[in-house]
Structure 1
């Protein structure tokens, strides 16, 4: 196992497991990712989600159960997209917050598919899962870029005050998302795009989300935003690993 894979899997698992812990502590579903509308069902759903995510995250870190853990994460999160986000988007197609949540869920589900493809499963199945995961993630990166452009005022607002030219950097991160999405989708400089994106998300955890969590430690939305950014950092490291392994297979076949 490469350092990129080990680090990416660890970061991804810690982020998803921490989201599960948040569910148990609050007795509630995950803000943004799991938009359950029934208030009466929230405590039960929160407990189930928490237990499943924690167990799956731990399983994904163990060699014997890694494929099962990744498969469960992918199935659960992609079910959120199909059963919760899709109906919400149909009902309110101009809701930017819902587009963000749906894209984040689809990206995390795609990353879990990539992780599943990187475990010990048959090569043909692995290739299909990695490709599907890349497509999901790459499309979401394009969507994030578009959302940065559409909601530039909000993006500029959340950039820390000590960073100058908020609007410029808001647009710049939108361009970075689009470039990363194109690289991941097409495979052109795909590994470099994924590694740069991992660095981008990781830096946001440190300079954007961590200070906001410290300032508003009782706000579950701030914790969720930070953990999603952390999950995206791990996700892009896993995608970078998938590109590296593909290159190794091609080079091996040509020898």
Structure 2
């Protein structure tokens, strides 16, 4: 019973965390009348670009506010999943098809897909309980984690540059975190020790928020890029905790 209570508390915190991340992204889009930088790369040449940015901000903010309320949480999660899923299908995949060897484009797909899957999984867990489709969603989330790991190895020096200077062996930490991403992703895809794997991923991503993104925002509190990175990291971290506390993940062998 105590274990179930802790799991429920973590699940609630994950939902609130995703709500906070989405609200932050929505507020930024409303302030700047623009979409979410490289995660929502609407070309500046599109008509009514500022209007699209504001509408995007309203959708993200609205979804986040709904997710913060238990009565509308499933609806908000579904809206967030569907809207961010549109970024993957309409904005990122065409670029991947045109340039399939560009790893940065695949990483963008993985990050947006992971956020969308977090929303869909939360909605499904609340409305229908675990099932076959939920299992597929967990495997897809695992594939996203694999891509996170590959990017850590491919861009190890860039990743090391994000590690706080006071930590030792920054390049080694870049490789270590990449290996953890890979291990978690493969475990989720294979259905092996899913709870432990997803929890490790969620804890590691939480450390990214606390050790990397919050200090960078504190150093540059008005910097839009750093704020966007923080809110995306919060949303991704919340998605990882949603996976870690899902009932299907708990059944993983």
Mark the runs of 5 or more structure 1 residues left unpaired by the alignment. 251-255
Distance between the aligned counterparts of 2:200 and 2:89, measured in 1? 30
Cα–Cα, structure 1 residues 93 and 221, in superposed 2: closer, same or farther, change >3 Å? farther
2:14 equivalent to 1:14: no
Q: In structure 2, list runs of 5 or more residues that go unmatched.
A: none
Distance (Å, rounded) in 1 between the aligned partners of 2:155 and 2:249: 37
- Distance 1:129-1:45 versus aligned 2 partners, 3 A rule: farther
Residues 1:31 and 2:37 aligned together: yes
- Give the CA deviation at 1:187: 2.5
**Which of 72, 76, 83 is matched with 1:69 structurally?**
76
**Map of 1:205 onto structure 2:** 209
For residue 152 of structure 2, what is the aligned residue in structure 1? 148
Match of 2:119 in 1: 112
2:109 to 84, 92, 102: 102
Whether the 8 Å contact between 1:130 and 1:242 is mirrored in structure 2 is: no
The whole-number CA distance in structure 2 between the counterparts of 1:132 and 1:218 is 39
| Counterpart position of 1:174 | 178
- Corresponding position: 1:58 with 2:65: yes
When the two structures are superposed, what TM-score results if normalisation uses the length of structure 1?
0.89
Question: Which has the larger displacement, 48-57 or 129-138?
Answer: 129-138
Secondary structure of the residue that 2:82 maps to in structure 1? helix
State the number of aligned residues: 246
Q: Is the 8 A contact 2:125 2:247 kept in 1?
A: no
**Superposed counterparts of 1:154-193, under 5 Å:** 154-193=158-197
Pick closer, same or farther for the CA change 1:220–1:94 going to 2, 3 Å. farther
Alpha carbons of structure 1 residues 83 and 245: separation in structure 2 relative to 1, 3 Å: closer
Q: Is the 8 A contact 1:96 1:147 kept in 2?
A: yes
User: Which segments of structure 1 move beyond 4 Å, counting only runs of 4 or more?
Assistant: none
CA distance in 1, matches of 2:165, 2:70: 44
The answer to whether the Cα contact below 8 Å between 1:114 and 1:129 also exists between their aligned partners in 2 is no
Secondary structure at 1:160 match in 2:
coil
Aligned to 1:136: 140
Structure 1, 179-188 or 76-85: larger mean CA deviation: 179-188
Instruction: Give, in whole Å, the separation in 1 of the partners of 2:221 and 2:26.
Output: 17
TM-score by length of 2: 0.90
Cα offset for 1:246?
A: 5.2
